[in-house]
Amino acid sequence: MSNIIRRDPFSDLFRGFFVRPIDFGFDSALESPEMRVDVKENADGYQVQAELPGIKKEDIHVQIDGPRVSITAERKQERQEKDGERVLRTERYFGRVSRSFQLSQDVDEAGASARFNDGVLELTLPKKTQAQAKRLTIS
């Protein structure tokens, strides 16, 4: 005699739905965000725009060393767990991201400026004036 078991696929689906972790198709712990950067050049200098969504301006650092520009940003995790609540999955990235690039000419650090608005860092980097070669007359 064979035993026939009747199964309802919908009850099986919903019974395990809240018990099993939800898989969204990627492992966010292995994927770190990229800092997307646009660099434009004109006669006077460079314009840089870097996307840094969700990061506070206090956590952004820009370093200029001649023609090399480095941008470092850190997103800190703020925990707000409520009583009786548990986190099943978090896909927001917390950590440090950095980007460095070399420009074709030295940057005038004294004239450089930075502005952060709506998750976009805007850098205005004037070119350093080249020292003119001086010709000496021999007496």
Mean local confidence (pLDDT), 105-116: 94
- What CA–CA distance (Å, rounded) separates 95 from 112? 27
At residue 30 the predicted structure's pLDDT band, cuts being 50, 70 and 90, is very low
User: How far is the C-alpha of 126 from the C-alpha of 104, rounded, in Å?
Assistant: 12
The angle subtended at Cα 84 by Cα 14 and Cα 10, nearest 5°, is: 0
Mean pLDDT value across residues 115-128: 94
Q: What is the layout of strands, in order, in the sheet containing 37-41? A: 37-41, 45-51, 120-126, 113-117
Question: pTM score, two decimals?
Answer: 0.64
| Domains of the chain by residue range | 34-77+93-126
Decide if pLDDT at 96 tops 60: yes
Domain 34-77+93-126 in this protein, CATH class:
mainly beta
